[in-house]
A and B are shown apart, each in its own frame.
Chain A
Amino acid sequence: MAEFLTLVPPVAVLLPVAILVALLPRRSGHALGALVPTLAVGWVWFVPTGAHFQTTFLGFEAVLFNVDDFSRLMGLIFGLIAAVAVLYSYASDADTTQTGFALSYVATSFGAVFAGDWLSMLFFWELMAVTSTLLVWHYGGKAVRAGFRYALLHGIGGTLLMAAILQTYVAKGTFLFASVPNGPETAGITAGLPAALAAIGIGVNVGFIGLHAWLPDTYPRPHVAASVFLCVFTTKTGVYGMYRAFPEGNVAIAYMGGGMAVFGAMFALFQNDMRRLLSYHIQSQVGYMIAGVGIGGALGQAGAFAHVFNHILYKGLLFMTAGVVIYRTGEQSLKKLGGLWREMPITAGAFSVAALSIAGFPYFNGFVSKGIVISASHYHFSKGPLPIGEFYTLEWLLLLGGVGTFMSFIKFGYYAFFHGEYEGSVPDANRLQSVAMLTVAALCVFYGVFDHALFSLLPFDVTDGDVVSHVYETYTIPHVVEGVALAVLGLLGFAVTKKPLSKLGRVPDVDSLYNPAVFYGTRALVVGVTELYAAVDRAVVGATRVLTAAVTDPNALYGRVVGVDEDDPAYPLRAGIGFSILVLAVFVTVALLLLP
């Protein structure tokens, strides 16, 4: 049985299936596309730990299929969400080509998380960038240009990671991970320059502050079902890669995670496009995972991977609900929506579950895993430069991100579902969309209530004092109070910032209680940060545009720099016969003069 399961790596099965799905008729193609990831979940569940598929690739030892607790968790949740997302694609009128592209993206993600050496992982990492770009391009229109920017940034990130991996190879003499047989003594990327390059390369994938612009740029543009796939795989594989590169953790990366949690949540608050708002929240939530990986140790890593698992569930669900709203109303912007809960009670219910999960409300799954990371930031991490009372620096950053998350999801829910009346009538999600959403919503609640079911999946047992530095317990009074307090703070925060954030909001009574100076100060800060962000954004986009123009049309660049008459475009890069002979003569003369 076990031998049979390890006979071929999952990617070798999933990739042909992806092609088959694209060729089959719509109904049977999607049925196959939903069935095979489900089977992959079973496969991942039953395959024994330590199983691996070793081969030689380009003369190097390579492990195409390596199962440990980390890759198993990634495989389980990837397979699960892929099956649901295919179902959702079918229900949302996605064509088979798109689902084929999406499944090839899923397949390469499986390849990346089950790789047992850096070379194989990089190989699938790059293929993921290719397949996801195809998935974005497939929608056409504005998605094409966004796809180009996406591909460019991920190409640069992949190249940096490749440089880091090559230098690690030079230092260690093998590409294998430390956990596989014959692997090197020390795990991870070699410290120093390689580590820095790897952090930046992987940082593109996980959306480090400053490297994150592709997230809100790309994810809102393609088909609504494509967004469900996109929101899952690239960033989470990035978290997994970050763990492989830094198995001991890293202080700077931990603080970057904290910064991302706050930064993403804050920018999400400024958004009105639903999927753009959700994209900023990917950055914010991945911030928690990166903080967990950066803290290191059993507790931090268990928290990070628990959060990967939970986040895939509720973020997939959020993109599905936003997708249903767009699918039914054709509107992307919160400003043009409102009062939809009467029209779409199922969608509104699913959204509420997902929103409470992502915000970390007690008895929803986000509460459990976010709690582990925050606990690790307190018990397994240094105080940091700016402790506030009991709260360590990283800890209050993460808590602040939680407040921001509450605020922005209160905003989302308020404007989409509860504010005002929707003019006209729209149907709710269709039956299959409802099935997909309710399945995931049920899982979000299940893992929130039965937290031990989640713990059993984690690479480290967080309830065992021998394994972790501080035993984690989900439902303690201080922890629940903390969760509720964040929610209350979020509510208050939303009430305070609602007016500056939206001209539509009515003037709430509470704001007359506050000092107007604070009010205007907050607004100035908001505008200032937004402008700063816009300036950075403009600079990046501008630089990219200049670079692209230079690469695609050097003659025009030459013309601008040297000043060529536009009516008579000379081709400075072409040569006649006489000139060629002259070049040849000069070349040989120089060669003969230089050689002796």
Chain B
Amino acid sequence: MIEHLPVLLVVLPIVGGTVPLVASLFTDRAGWLVATVTVLVHAALAGLLGWTVWTEGSVSYAVGGFAAPYGIELVVDGLSASVVVLISAVALGVLAYARHAGPHSNAFYSQFLLLVTGLTGMTVTGDVFNLYVFLEITGLAAYGLVASGREASSAVAALKYLIIGTVGASLYLLGVGYALAATGTLNMADLADKLATATGGYDSTLVLTAFGLMVGGLTVKVALFPLHTWQPDAYANAPDSVSAFISALVSTVSAYALARLLFSVFTVDFLEAVPGARWALLALASVSIVAGSALAVSQTNVQRMLAYSSVSQFGLVIAGFTIATPIAVVGATVHLLGHAVMKGGLFAASGIIERETGATTIGGYAGMAARTPVAAGAFAVLALAMVGVPPAVGFLGKWYIVVGAVEAGLWPVVAVLLASTLLTLAYFARLVERLYFAEPTIREDAAVADGGEGTDGSRSSSGYRPDGGASVSTGMIAVVVLAAVLAVALTAAVPALEQLLEQTLPPLLNQ
């Protein structure tokens, strides 16, 4: 049983995903239950897998008994185990939120489980082509989920996401092709060995092209500037549950995949042999940090602001991975996981605030803390955690990345990282100030009577209202509060994560 854990984690949700469709023959409300049971089992398995990795080190599994490098290999080390646990945890949180917030259809939960499959698969796979397959599964499920909003803009956003996402994935596939041509293998560990000894070594055009295409393709999925254009539309126009889910996980797992490529396929030796590649990625990440923040500051819609904030934060994560000293990689991982919790929580909190008050814009948030004290409180905590106010986890992640950059002597990057904190403060402090220290601009009666139609700063009544009202369940509140608590409490887990990564990172970093 234990040795089959990696493959079970992928098989379970894909099988679970078919059940709601079959159940539709009998009832159209079975999806939530099926998804919850599946994700609960998934979480138990993920926990067990995490425990195994913690006690016994990395786990590897040959699918169907075909040994690597010819068969497909699944590899779970500390980094991937942490991400798998994150996927389970966030999926559970989103289910608790979606129980009341919807969507309620069976088809939604099938797609939801399919997305869990894709994300888990991307995380545990040890094969670059297999990674592409799961990338596409993830993408297709995410496009469908974004489109499940009932507004026209959801469909447009999903279409934009689909076209750009597919082009990105295709570029990645093209890169895999070049890598295959250069080495004749698709297994990550095998590729790492053979790329080093390929004709012409790391400098050969074939290897460089493969690197450029694969990284370029994944960069689209991570949504670094200037390839982020699909992302704000997708996040802001999807239903709240979907926004919370994909904002927390899709870019996160793509960033994980990019890190996996950097460390397990191309390795740190490649980055050292080709400084141009390293500087290009660092420059891209730095531009992303600054441009994402600047765009976030200029938004009036809160969810779009949060989306642009992701562009900036993922710049930070990728910068951490590219610096590639052990402490920077720990920092990037902490920020990767912490950002998922914080950003998911922020989207969920913004959803609750919209339901309770009708406020969707920064102007509309004025004085809303009095109307939704719990959600606004959680929002403020999460926002401050994202800025990096100690002792929140956002601070530790940034701190380690900065320390790594200082150690590596990358002073321009240090300057950008420090400036990013100020920039993050610029947009979140404004929101927190609006929430707590400003006079309301939305009148209570108007907002409650018609969902805020016609009042300044609120979405029209054609907004997504699955059950005809704007009520909020205890589960939704609990998820947001839990995210806020986790944003601080996870700090305590960082030493454990650090130890876990130390056991698995040195081989990745060749140190």
Residue numbers of A with Cβ under 8 A of B are 58-59, 123, 137, 140, 144, 155, 159, 162, 166, 170, 551-555, 573-577, 579-581, 583-584, 587-588, 591-592, 594-596
Contacts and interface: CB of A to CB of B under 8 A. Distances in A.
A584 B227 contact: yes
Interface of B is mostly: helix
Looking at B159, B209, B212, B422, the one whose CB has the most chain A CB atoms below 10 A away is B212
A584 B426 contact: no
Contacts of B230: 580
Looking at B215, B216, B277, B403, the one whose CB has the most chain A CB atoms below 10 A away is B216
A584 B297 contact: no
A591 B418 contact: no
Looking at A137, A140, A580, A588, the one whose CB has the most chain B CB atoms below 10 A away is A588
> Which 9 pairs from chain A and chain B are nearest by CB?
A580-B229, A575-B229, A588-B216, A554-B298, A595-B208, A591-B212, A592-B212, A577-B160, A596-B208
Contacts of A579: 229
Interface string B153-185: 000000110011001100100000000000000
Contact of A552 (B295, B297, B422): B297
Interface in B259-310: 274, 276-277, 280, 294-295, 297-298
A143 to B, nearest CB: 10
Contacts of A577: 159-160, 163-164
Interface in B200-244: 203, 205, 208-209, 211-213, 215-216, 220, 226-227, 229-230
B213 A588 contact: yes
Contacts, number: 82
Nearest to B230: A580
Nearest to B439: A140
B390 A588 contact: no
Contacts of A588: 171, 212-213, 216
A134 to B, nearest CB: 9
Contacts of B437: 137, 140, 144
B48 interface: no
A592 B227 contact: no
A404 to B, nearest CB: 38
B430 interface: yes
Interface of A is mostly: helix
A230 to B, nearest CB: 18
Interface in B95-117: none
B422 A155 contact: yes
A173 B280 CA distance: 31
Given A553-B298, A584-B167, A587-B216, A594 B280 contact: yes
Contacts of B390: 123
A37 to B, nearest CB: 24
B482 interface: no
A166 to B, nearest CB: 7
Given A59-B403, A581-B163, A581-B164, 20 more contacts: A140-B437, A551-B426, A553-B298, A554-B297, A554-B298, A555-B298, A577-B163, A577-B164, A580-B227, A580-B230, A583-B227, A584-B167, A584-B168, A584-B171, A584-B220, A587-B216, A592-B213, A595-B208, A595-B274, A595-B277
B347 interface: no
B406 interface: yes
Nearest to A162: B418
A573 B298 contact: yes
Contacts of A573: 295, 298
Contacts of B171: 584, 588
A579 B203 CA distance: 32
Nearest to B308: A573
18 contacts: A137-B433, A144-B437, A155-B422, A162-B418, A170-B406, A554-B298, A575-B229, A579-B229, A580-B160, A580-B230, A581-B164, A583-B226, A583-B229, A584-B216, A588-B171, A592-B213, A595-B212, A596-B208
B428 to A, nearest CB: 13
Given A551-B426, A577-B164, A588-B216, A594 B276 contact: yes
A581 B229 CA distance: 9
A93 to B, nearest CB: 21
Contacts of B321: none
Contacts of A144: 437
B256 interface: no
A580 B298 contact: no
B399 interface: yes
A591 B406 contact: no
Contacts of A166: 406
B396 interface: yes
A588 B220 CA distance: 10
Looking at A123, A554, A579, A580, the one whose CB has the most chain B CB atoms below 10 A away is A580
Contacts of A594: 276, 280
Contacts of B229: 574-575, 579-580, 583
Nearest to B159: A577
A221 to B, nearest CB: 14
A596 B276 CA distance: 9
Nearest to A57: B390
Nearest to B211: A595
Contact of B226 (A137, A587, A595): A587
Nearest to B156: A577
Contacts of A59: 403
A166 B415 CA distance: 12
Nearest to A170: B406
B347 to A, nearest CB: 20
A592 B209 CA distance: 6
A152 to B, nearest CB: 10
B409 to A, nearest CB: 10
B430 to A, nearest CB: 7
Contacts of A587: 216, 226-227
A104 to B, nearest CB: 14
A553 to B, nearest CB: 7
Contacts of A580: 160, 164, 227, 229-230
Nearest to B304: A574
Given A123-B390, A583-B229, A595 B297 contact: no
Contacts of A162: 418
Nearest to A155: B422
B185 to A, nearest CB: 22
A581 B167 contact: yes
Contacts of B167: 581, 584
Given A555-B298, A573-B298, A591 B160 contact: no
A123 B276 CA distance: 37
A159 B418 contact: yes
A162 B430 CA distance: 24
A591 B281 CA distance: 10
A595 B280 contact: yes
Nearest to A166: B406
Contacts of A583: 226-227, 229
Nearest to B224: A587
Nearest to B419: A159
Contacts of A584: 164, 167-168, 171, 216, 220, 227
A551 B428 CA distance: 13
A170 B425 CA distance: 27
B108 to A, nearest CB: 25
Nearest to B163: A577
Given A580-B164, A595-B211, A58 B399 contact: yes
Contacts of A555: 298
B473 to A, nearest CB: 27
Contacts of A596: 203, 205, 208-209
